[in-house]
Amino acid sequence: MQSKQSRRRHKWRPITYILLFTWAFIALFPLYWLLITSFKQPIAVFQGPKFIPWVDFKPTLNAWKFLLTGLGHEAVLRDWRNSAIEALTSAVLAVAIGSLAGYGLTRFSYRVPVLKWRNPDISFWIISQRMLPPVVVVLPFLIMYRFVGLVDTYLGMILAYTVFNLPFAVWIMRDFFASLPVELEESALIEGASRLKAFRLIVLPLATPGLVATFLFCMMFAWNDYLFALMLTFSRASTLPMYIAGEGTQSYGPQWWYLSALSLMAVVPMAIVAVFVERYISRGLVVGAIK
C-alpha cells in the first residue's frame, strides 16, 4: 500500500514542479522586466522587447545616475525618505496601540452600557472601520487637516496612516493574544508582578511573531499608499508613489527607464524587509496572527 502511494506521489511530482516553476515565472517576470528596463537606453526601450543584457541590448546606468545624482535627485531622495519615515513611524505607532487594545480585548471584559456591546461587538466595530474605502474618509481628513494646519506635514501623514492601520493591528493582535496561554501571566501576577510588567516581560516576547507580522503589514500599507498622499500632501511630505505617478504623467510621455528604476526603489525595500523577517511572518500566520 505504501509503495503504491509512493509511486503515485512520484508520478505527480514532475507536474507539481512544472506548475510551481510556471507560477514562479509568471510572478517574477514583471520584476525582471523592471530590472532590465531600468538599465536600458531609451532607444533600446522603443525598439521593442529585448530580454537579455549584453545580447539584445547594452546595459547602462544612465537612468540610475540621473535619479540618484542628476538634476532631480533631491526630489527623489526626499520622497523616498518621506515614505520611509512616515511608513516606519506609523507602523510602530499602530502596532504599539493595537497591541495594547488587542491585549485588553482578550484579557478584560468590557461593556458599552447604551449599546450593550461586549468584547466581540467592540472588536467587530473596530475592524469595520478598516472596511471603509479610504476615499470615503479622505475628504473629511483634508478639511480637518486644513483647519488644524496638518496638511503636507510629517505629523499629519503619520497620524493618518496610524489611524488607517490601527483597526487591522488591533484585530490581528487580539487573535494572537487569544492564542497565548493565560496561565503564564497568572503565574507572574502571583509572584507579585504588575499587569503591565507581565505584559511587557512575558506576553510581548511570546507575541514577537505576531508583532513582526503586524508591523510588516502596516508598514506595507503605508508605504504603498497613494490616495492619502495625493490629497494631504503636495511637496514637503509627499511620498515615493506620488513621485512615480507624477513621472508617468509628464507632457513628454512616460520615460519607462526612469519609471522602472523608481518602481524598483519602491519594491526592493519591502522585499528586503520581508526576506529578513520571513520566519517571524510564517510563525505569526500559523500561530494565529491572521485567521
Residue span of the structural domain in which 129 resides: 72-287
CATH number at residue 93: 1.10.3720.10
Q: Using one digit for the tens of pLDDT, what is the confidence trace for 181-207?
A: 888 888 888 888 888 888 888 888 888
Query: In this structure, is residue 48 part of a structural domain?
Result: no
Per the structure, how many domains does the chain have?
A: 1
Q: Is the dihedral of CA 286, 287, 289, 291 positive or negative?
A: positive
Phi, psi of 223 (to 5 degrees): -65, -40
Intra-chain end-to-end CA distance of the chain, in Å:
36
Distance from C-alpha of 159 to C-alpha of 232, rounded to nearest angstrom: 11
- Residue 41 counted as domain residue: no
pTM of the model: 0.85
Q: Is residue 2 part of a domain?
A: no
d(CA 227, CA 232): 8
pLDDT of residue 191: 82
Identify the weakest region by mean pLDDT among 102-116, 186-200, 240-254: 240-254
Residue 171: exposed, middle, or buried by beta-carbon count in 10 A (0-12, 13-18, 19+)? buried
Per-residue pLDDT reduced to its tens digit, 112-161: 887 788 888 988 999 888 888 888 888 999 999 999 999 999 999 999 99
Neighbours of 134 (CB within 10 A): 15
Task: Confirm whether 275 is domain-assigned.
Answer: yes
Residue 208 lies in a domain: yes
Asked, for residue 44, whether it belongs to a domain, the answer is no
Confirm whether 14 is domain-assigned: no
> What is the mean predicted confidence (pLDDT) over 24-44?
90
Is residue 273 in a domain? Answer: yes
- Number of Cβ within a 10 Å radius of residue 131: 7
- Identify the H or E element spanning 118: strand 117-118
